Structure 1
Amino acid sequence: MSNISVVDLAADRAYLAIRGLIVSLELPPEAVIDERALMQRLALGRTPVREALRRLAHEQLVEVFPRRGMFVSGVDVRDLARISEVREALEPEAARLAAERATDGEREQLAALAEEIGGGGDLMGLDERVHRAIYKAAHNDLMEKTLNEYYVLALRIWMIALDRAEDLEEAVEAHRDVLSTIVHGNGDDAAVLMRAHVQDFEQAMRRVLVTV
């Protein structure tokens, strides 16, 4: 493996780990980012950590202020409406494309995810895996990248009030019909169901967030 590949893999590892800390609020909004502490925590060097932080700044999860340092971006629940507008436009199209373009292996993966629904466990983890699998099955790299970024932005807002979302399980279970239509190649139905899911989930989160 070349040195470039090793560096890239380390940067990817740092990116995923730091993003996870931010999304889970373990690194809370507006917290100072301590590069050295992250290097020690992740057992990685300065270069991959800095590359990861640059990527996260591009995705609006980190803010850089000259002579002041780096901070976790603040959270404004009012952003949820703007994020949802993007997701409502792109998620249905991703579902439609996935129904048309998914490989046999991807359809098997989507069917397996559908079987997990209703089994309890980490609901938001399952929600994320479902959405990312659909994005990938759409076979549009630009759409996949955009939707992944907006999903993360939305997820960080949801995490603020996740413990108060009483109808979260019902919202996640709506994926079952979405996945079924994709697996069976019904693109138009998949788009309609995905749009309804995104709208219903956003409304469920909004009801909780107004009380936070």
Structure 2
Amino acid sequence: MVRTRSRGETAGQRMADAPLADLTVLPPPDTRTPSLSDIAYYRVRDLIVTLQLEPGAALDERELMVQLALGRTPVREAVRRLAGEGLVEIFARRGTVVAPVQVRDLARVSEVRVPLEALAARLAVDRADASDRDAMVSLLSSLETGATSQRDLIRLDQRVHQQVYRATHNRYLQSTLAEYLTLSLRLWFLGLEQVQRLDDAVDEHRELLITVLEGNADAAEQTARAHVTGFWDEIRQVLAT
């Protein structure tokens, strides 16, 4: 049966039926039926992280409504949510802007993310269930096939990290790491043209998944720590030039 749309159905409602598969910054893997506010949040977040909305740029609510084909309420809720995550800044007189990137942010994000990624890898070894393991085997196959573009590699990077987070079966840790991964991706895009270690990242993802599947908690923790530390070391050098 073909569904017909009523005259009162908005563009935003039609967007709710569409997947978020075209985003570079992936939603959580368990996102199945996002609300209009969720759609606005994930799409604005994608624009910010991929630098389509540059650091320090003013956010025009009406322009976002037109661009996303969504109403005022979901866009406003999305902006507030992004402000809580440090990607947007709201000022009483200046209005709303994309949060600028400060050099000191690099060290602060790093000092939190490195130990938490190591913890997640260790917990994943202890808690991964059959479904988690199947997903990791599938990701290993994707890594062997290889990414055809930087965007594909960035998406694959997120899928690996998201699966490790999920395997911890700790929703608090999973939520926290997802937020820090997003902040890290934004920094990655700032130095993307100069980053040289993309091939190394693929090897590190492969090693991380293998050590988790083999049940080697020490090796998994060490691999996760080295992977994130290596990323930060290169990004720090790129942003310092």
Task: Map 1:1-212 to 2 at 5 A.
Answer: 9-117=35-143, 119-121=146-148, 122-211=152-241
Secondary structure of 2:55's partner?
A: coil
Take 2:195 and 2:53, find their aligned partners in 1: how far apart are those partners?
Answer: 22
Shifted more, 14-23 versus 66-75: the winner is 66-75
Per-residue CA distance 1:95-140 (angstroms, 9 max, x = gap): 1111111221111111211222251322222111111111111111
More helix, by proportion: 1
Take 1:60 and 1:101, find their aligned partners in 2: how far apart are those partners?
Answer: 31
Deviation of 1:185 (Å): 2.4
Task: Give the AA of the match of 1:189.
Answer: A
Paired residues, number: 206
Take 2:131 and 2:65, find their aligned partners in 1: how far apart are those partners?
Answer: 37
Task: Give the AA of the match of 1:120.
Answer: A
Take 1:77 and 1:173, find their aligned partners in 2: how far apart are those partners?
Answer: 28
Secondary structure of 2:97's partner?
A: strand
Take 2:69 and 2:90, find their aligned partners in 1: how far apart are those partners?
Answer: 23
TM-score (norm 1): 0.91
Take 2:88 and 2:111, find their aligned partners in 1: how far apart are those partners?
Answer: 22
Question: In structure 2, do the counterparts of structure 1 residues 84 and 172 end up closer, same or farther at CA, with 3 Å as the change threshold?
Answer: farther
Runs of 5+ unmatched residues, structure 2: 1-15, 17-32
Secondary structure of 2:59's partner?
A: coil
Identity within the alignment, %: 50
TM-score (norm 2): 0.81
Secondary structure of 2:193's partner?
A: helix
In the alignment, is the contact (CA less than 8 A) between 1:123 and 1:169 conserved in 2? no
Take 2:187 and 2:102, find their aligned partners in 1: how far apart are those partners?
Answer: 8
Deviation of 1:188 (Å): 2.3
Question: In structure 2, do the counterparts of structure 1 residues 115 and 8 end up closer, same or farther at CA, with 3 Å as the change threshold?
Answer: closer
State the structure with bigger RCO (CA 8 A, min sep 6), 1 or 2: 1
In the alignment, is the contact (CA less than 8 A) between 1:15 and 1:49 conserved in 2? yes
Take 1:46 and 1:22, find their aligned partners in 2: how far apart are those partners?
Answer: 19
Task: Give the AA of the match of 2:136.
Answer: L
Secondary structure of 1:31's partner?
A: coil
Structure 1 segments of 4+ aligned residues over 6 angstroms from their partners: none
Deviation of 1:182 (Å): 1.2
Deviation of 1:8 (Å): 6.6
Take 2:207 and 2:215, find their aligned partners in 1: how far apart are those partners?
Answer: 12
Take 2:90 and 2:235, find their aligned partners in 1: how far apart are those partners?
Answer: 29
Task: Give the AA of the match of 1:196.
Answer: A
Deviation of 1:80 (Å): 1.2
